């Protein structure tokens, strides 16, 4: 399912956070959104999800705007994992993941065997099945991150919007989570847009990178085209070395100042 963003400007009542952003994401493509703090990454995620209407411009998911699709249909098509999700501390992890099935359950209906099977499967994929009966208030930040990702995947979306999906995960679980996200595209088409903090992981796992700075797209292309010392110096204000990783592309290594 493709996504098209045309000349989008968006903000929150003050200066625009996104300025004239245009971007096309092809069906089954994984696009990583990069940028320093305040670049507009989270706002872009919300605009695509239909949670924050743009001041101008249009967003279409498979040719229709979020408003045209309607809230329920958008929830079936698009799963959005926010950077700071709400966690009802008295709810179990299993119950929380089952919330991802809500768009597929009729009004006044309850979860069926397939809904429970899907929730169980994604928890197992994320090495989180042992958390199913534990309350959200009793698990760590990294465990919560796996549970919220499981909820998004339980939705069985055609578009997956991830805002910093590996926050609070250790390096092992970061890699495992990203590998699992990528692997779901082998079984069925899933279009992924992910705002990512780790430049090296973004370059190794995504199909294409888009660099935002001050609300505008300043670079788009392969990891080697976007993750350059000059672009990173200009927009992140830091010096880096780009290192070849055999079989995995490149890694970005920060240099000490002085």
Share of the chain above pLDDT 90, in %: 67
Which residues, 6 or more positions from 180, have their beta carbon under 8 angstroms from its beta carbon? Answer: 125, 126
- Residue 113, H or E segment: helix 113-125
- Residue 209, H or E segment: strand 208-213
pTM listed for this prediction = 0.89
Give the residue from 33, 22, 26 showing the smallest Cα distance to 59: 22
**pLDDT tops 70 at residue 258:** no
Q: How far apart are CA 161 and CA 62, in angstroms?
A: 15
**Neighbour count for residue 30 (Cβ, 10 Å):** 21
- Mean pLDDT calculated for residue range 84-101: 93
Q: How far apart are CA 201 and CA 216, in angstroms?
A: 22
Instruction: Look at 51 and 189; give whichever has higher pLDDT.
Output: 51
pLDDT digits (tens, 9 = 90+) for 177-232: 888 888 878 777 899 999 999 999 999 999 999 999 999 999 999 999 999 999 99
Give the residue from 117, 202, 110 showing the smallest Cα distance to 156: 117
**pLDDT tops 80 at residue 4:** yes
- Mean pLDDT calculated for residue range 9-38: 95
Contact in structure between 130 and 77 (CB atoms under 8 Å): no
Give the residue from 227, 213, 149, 135 showing the smallest Cα distance to 181: 149
- Mean pLDDT over each residue of the chain, to the nearest integer: 91
pLDDT-derived band at 233 (thresholds 50, 70, 90) equals very high
Domains and CATH numbers, the chain: 3-254 (3.40.50.300)
Give the residue from 252, 203, 177 showing the smallest Cα distance to 34: 203
According to DSSP, the β-strands at 18-25 and 3-10 are antiparallel
pLDDT digits (tens, 9 = 90+) for 100-126: 999 888 776 788 999 999 999 989 988
**pLDDT tops 90 at residue 34:** yes
Least confident of 62-76, 173-187, 237-251: 173-187
């Amino acid at each position: 399912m493709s996504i098209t963003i045309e000349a989008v400007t968006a903000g929150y009542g003050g200066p625009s956070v996104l300025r004239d952003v245009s971007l096309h994401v092809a069906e089954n493509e994984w696009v990583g959104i990069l940028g320093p703090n305040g670049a507009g990454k989270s706002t872009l995620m919300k605009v695509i999800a239909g949670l924050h209407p743009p001041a101008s411009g249009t967003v279409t998911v498979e040719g229709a705007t979020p408003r045209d699709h309607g809230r329920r249909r958008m929830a079936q098509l698009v799963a959005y994992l926010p950077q700071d999700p709400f966690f009802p501390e008295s709810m179990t992890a299993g119950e929380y993941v089952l919330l991802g099935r809500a768009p597929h359950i009729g009004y006044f209906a309850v979860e069926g065997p397939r809904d429970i099977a899907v929730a169980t499967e994604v928890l197992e994929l994320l090495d989180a099945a042992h958390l199913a009966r534990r309350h959200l208030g009793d698990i760590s930040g990294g465990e919560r991150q796996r549970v919220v990702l499981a909820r998004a995947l339980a939705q069985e979306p055609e578009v997956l919007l991830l805002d910093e999906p590996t926050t609070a995960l250790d390096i092992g679980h970061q890699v495992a989570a990203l590998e699992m996200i990528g692997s779901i595209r082998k079984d069925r088409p899933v279009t992924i847009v992910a705002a990512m903090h780790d430049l090296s992981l973004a370059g190794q796992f995504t199909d294409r990178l888009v660099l935002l700075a001050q609300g505008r797209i300043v670079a788009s292309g392969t990891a080697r085209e976007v993750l350059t010392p000059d672009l990173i110096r200009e927009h992140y204000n830091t010096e880096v070395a780009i290192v070849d990783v055999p079989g995995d592309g490149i890694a970005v290594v920060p240099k000490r100042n002085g």
